[in-house]
Amino acid sequence: MMPFLRHGVCLALILGLWPNPLVAQIGHLKRESIPEPIVRRLAEAQLAVCISPDGRRFTTSGQNRAIRQWSVDGSELAPLENAPGGWSIQYSPDGRLLVGCGLDRLIRVWDSQTGRQVRQLQGHTQIAWMAAFLPDGEQLVSVSEDATIRLWNILAGTEVGQITGHPGPIWCMALSNDGRWLVTGGADGTMRLWDLPAGKMIRRLDGSHGGGVGALAFSPDARTIASSGWQDHKVFLWEAGTGRCRRQIPHESGSKSLLFSADGRTLITAGNDRTIRLWNLSAVSRASRLDGHAGTVNGVALSLDGRCLVSASNDQTVRVWDLSLFRMDPMTRILPSRQIESCWLALGQADSRSAYEAMTELASAPEQTVALIRQRIRPASAENAQRVSELIALTSHPRYSVREQASRELERLRDEAEPALRRALAQAEPETRRRAEGLLKKIELRGTAPETLRAIRCVELLEQIGTADARQLLRELAQGAPDARLTLEAHASLRRLTMTFASR
């Protein structure tokens, strides 16, 4: 165990003075009366925190004065050059760089080993609230009070793209693990989902937060988005594929920061009530609490292995929690046939809340659920995929009547045609691109077909279950037509599961 965490279940780096012993309950474990070591007192509230990919360092961002880097044994590392505090700080995927945003509209990039500033990116006309590395580590995405999303090339130090669409300031964002999807939250309380490589908005989430959006997070599979309001003290889960609300998380005072665990089964919220809560998403009424902060918890960060949680607070402290013994044991049971059939029907409903409840029920009966999906969901037909390709080619036919007929058939095929239509936006003839844009708008307005919703949610269930039988069924579904949405979803689930098992 890392030397700084040698005391066991919980505890931590305290950057401040704490006379009282900590009592924390984590999962099924309770550790009482552990004296808190005093490492250092800071002179200001701490707004943000991040952990390096190797889990050996973390960085804190203060309200006004400094961004500082620490080793997990509590010692301070090389100071960062010209590093005013702010609400955002992040390591690059390889841990060599740090990026932070100050209130002066600038985005700064540092060498994390030496603390030297290597880039200063200027372009936002108002405060840049957040910046994040893309998976290649060579590009950044940022959001700002100026209502823009901007893309940056770090090596060149230049802006390479700008996306607009929010009617006002953008306060927060979250990036999917693969860098394809970006979700942004505005001062007007609305949230928008973007295809980042295409630079296009996919949908606006079907709801809003009063007083602005304060924090966002993607689940590891990018199928669920968590959001919290800056003033309305509400926390929601959203289905990324439909934009509809899946569930409200009952953290009464709201959350300033949100995190999913690596397996997506736990949501971590950090609240105005000074607590950190770990929610078992298979039973949201069950939450474990981490107590000890004396002020609002503004930021939390989780190591890649899930063993170390760092929290930053208005109380001028940063704490490191050892979660190595924490576990959320899934509840398993046998479901009656009538309940299984009811859940199956709910999986195809547009109502994401009912569908999510059904998925929770089915996930609690893994053997029954895998058998059910195997019986009722088949790999996507190659015949339909070939037909979609032919129809897209016909949308640029010289005869107008042929183009119109092809468009009508593509609209009828709906979800089966969507992946190919999105690719056509970047690769096709001008007429095909125009028609593809129009068809995608119609598909979005009509919503996903019930049978497609059910199939995609079944793939999500198989990934959650993750047993050998579930993985085998995903492999079978991944053998379907290459361009079909079901095939692509199964492939993506298999990749994530493979990475998860390889890291254990």
pLDDT in tens, 297-323: 999 999 988 888 999 999 998 888 888
Q: How far apart are CA 353 and CA 237, in angstroms?
A: 9
Residue 253: pLDDT band (50, 70, 90) is: confident
pLDDT-derived band at 2 (thresholds 50, 70, 90) equals: very low
| pLDDT of 173 higher than 90 | yes
Average pLDDT of 103-107?
A: 89
Q: Which residues pair with 57 in a beta bridge?
A: 71
Q: Which two tokens stand for residue 118?
A: 């290597």
| pLDDT at residue number 175 | 97
Angstrom distance (rounded) from CA 49 to CA 247: 27
Check residue 254 and give its pLDDT.
Answer: 86
- At 415 the pLDDT is 80
The tens digit of pLDDT for each residue in 390-444 reads 999 999 999 999 999 999 999 888 888 888 888 888 776 899 999 998 998 888 7
DSSP for 349-401 reads: -S-HHHHHHHHHHHHTSHHHHHHHHHHH--PPPHHHHHHHHHHHHHTT-SSHH
Q: Which of 10, 6, 8, 13 is nearest to 75 (CA)?
A: 13
Contacts 24+ apart (CB under 8 A), 270-276: 270/297, 270/298, 270/299, 270/300, 270/311, 271/296, 271/297, 272/233, 272/296, 274/313, 274/315, 276/300, 276/309, 276/311, 276/321
**What's the rounded Cα separation, in Å, for the pair 182 and 217?**
10
CA angle 463/464/466 to nearest 5° reads 65
Q: At what angle do helices 450-465 and 337-347 cross, to 10 degrees?
A: 120
Among 75, 166, 79, which residue's Cα sits nearest to residue 126? 166
pLDDT score recorded for residue 503: 62
> Residue 328 has what pLDDT?
65
The region of weakest confidence among 48-52, 62-66, 68-72 is: 62-66
Q: Cα separation of 229 and 309, whole Å?
A: 22
168 pLDDT exceeds 90? yes
| N-term to C-term CA, the chain | 16
| Fold entry, domain 3-322 | Methylamine Dehydrogenase; Chain H (2.130.10)
Going from N- to C-terminal start, the domains of the chain cover 3-322, 330-504
Give pLDDT tens digits for 273-297. Answer: 999 999 988 876 668 888 889 999 9
**If 0-12 CB within 10 Å is exposed, 13-18 middle and 19+ buried, where does residue 14 land?**
buried
Q: What percent of the chain has pLDDT over 90?
A: 62
So what's the pLDDT on residue 492? Answer: 94
